[in-house]
Structure 1
């Protein structure tokens, strides 16, 4: 974008009042121009073609095509606009799905107007943005996952190499018969290994064992 050209914004939300509020707020912000609106994700490709936005403010929950799908489709285009997801739903899955779909920002609808305008400018300049609350949630999730990984690795560290092979196969969903074939064991030996492993790890069943393998990053 040229220095003097405003950031072109497309507002996508199925709530007409929300669209009107965002449009009024952003059109009054320095260096930003709302060039179009859409009330569902299925309208986004045509709106992007018609208005050539630099940034799309994308709602998550819409009746026909949700914001995650619309974001993914936009970001697959040859010269895609940046996308900021703006939603009231801040679940971990929504955040991660939005970021994996290619969103450059994730803000909650209770974000102050001036902060939303600044986020639009930042994202247009190539700087991803997350609200502080979202950043903290992601940090907490990573910390939990890291802790589960460390604990799982430590637990599996007590197994012998052969038991470790059996555990990985269980985590990959193999049956006892398939494990016997894969590891060149008798079926009775596999059953004995599995029983012994469950006892050694103080687990009740194969499902718990498979989850442990997953937490350890081995399946």
Structure 2
């Protein structure tokens, strides 16, 4: 055993045992230091013995900080806790003549197996459908697109009226006479007709292409409202 952890000899030198408690331990340590210190005892002092005692004292404090007790002492008990802990047993129900009682543990086991089987079936059924996501390129991109788009299967086309656009796309998040905003996507109108759009991947519209404009589709500018 290392001299710095020889707590048995330290207790012997202090005249204590491991169950003395921290207060008594510190008092005995101070008395012993006074008996060994050269400033007090002069030539009768024992400096090597004092240095060894100081190292053991510091190691004891470290041990107490980690474990809440002095080295070699029994572990502290929780106030109010009984030891050994009381054991409880469930009352035994007697079975009627000729009838066997199923163990309680067996019933719990069957219930647990049934719950796990139901969860597995649900998970397998849910796995067949796509999980909605905002990333069209990631898993479940089709479901994400369907979640944003209205129920109508008809697609927006250039030249459609405002009423037709509303039936296909639904109400916009921001509505102006010349442009409807659907989040980052938008639809342009002129003279009450669809003249262009932009369908953002994060909020796709019910359209056949990502963007379109009347000028590029027909080779002419939008006609003036009559």
Structure in which a larger fraction of residues adopt helix: 1
The reply to whether TM is greater than 0.5 is no
* Structure ranking higher on relative contact order (CA contacts 8 Å, 6+ apart): 1
- Normalising by the residue count of structure 1, what TM-score does the alignment of the two structures yield? 0.21
Larger Rg computed on CA atoms: 2
- Normalising by the residue count of structure 2, what TM-score does the alignment of the two structures yield? 0.21
